[in-house]
């Protein structure tokens, strides 16, 4: 068994940073939930959560980092993949002030 990712599956253009922080996510199908991040990049993030609550892939959720900075931006997140640990999201639109730069 190898730890490498198959080249055809790897689609990232930016480096992931492993970081645990709280994130509030919301969608009309489930309301609001607070979950933890596994990693974050300039293009998206992976959230540790029970994927049974999530809408279909391609859906747009709102998310906001909790407890790191005041007035963190409300982000639009597109659900792009799910696995047994949680779900991967890409950021939708331009992010002027991403908290990752402040960590």
Is residue 9 domain-resident? no
Nearest to 75 by CA among 17, 15, 26: 26
**Residue with the larger pLDDT of the pair 72 and 34:** 34
Strand runs (DSSP E) across 1-103, as ranges? 17-18, 22-27, 31-40, 44-48, 60-66, 75-82, 86-92
- pLDDT reading at 29 higher than 80: yes
Half-sphere exposure of 76 (CA within 13 A, CB side): 8
Read off the pLDDT of residues 34-64 as tens digits, 9 standing for 90 and up: 999 999 988 999 999 998 999 999 999 999 9
- Pick 58 or 73 by higher pLDDT: 58
User: Could you report the per-residue pLDDT of 78-87, keeping only the tens digit for each?
Assistant: 999 999 999 9
Q: Is the pLDDT of residue 6 over 70?
A: no
pTM of the model: 0.78
Enclosing domain of residue 80: 17-98
In a domain, 66, yes or no: yes
- Does the residue 22 lie in any domain? yes
The CATH number given to whatever domain includes residue 32 is 2.40.10.220
Q: Give the pair of three-digit tokens for residue 39.
A: 């990693």
């Amino acid at each position: 068994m190898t730890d490498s990712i198959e080249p055809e599956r790897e689609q990232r253009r930016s480096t992931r940073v492993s970081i645990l922080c709280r994130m509030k996510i919301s969608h009309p199908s489930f309301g609001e939930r607070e979950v933890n991040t596994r990693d974050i990049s300039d293009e998206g993030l992976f959230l540790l959560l029970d994927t049974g609550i999530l809408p279909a892939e391609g859906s747009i959720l709102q998310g906001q980092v909790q407890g790191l900075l005041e007035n963190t931006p409300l982000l639009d997140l597109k659900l792009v993949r799910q696995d047994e640990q949680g779900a991967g999201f890409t950021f939708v639109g331009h992010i002027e002030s991403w908290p990752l730069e402040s960590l």
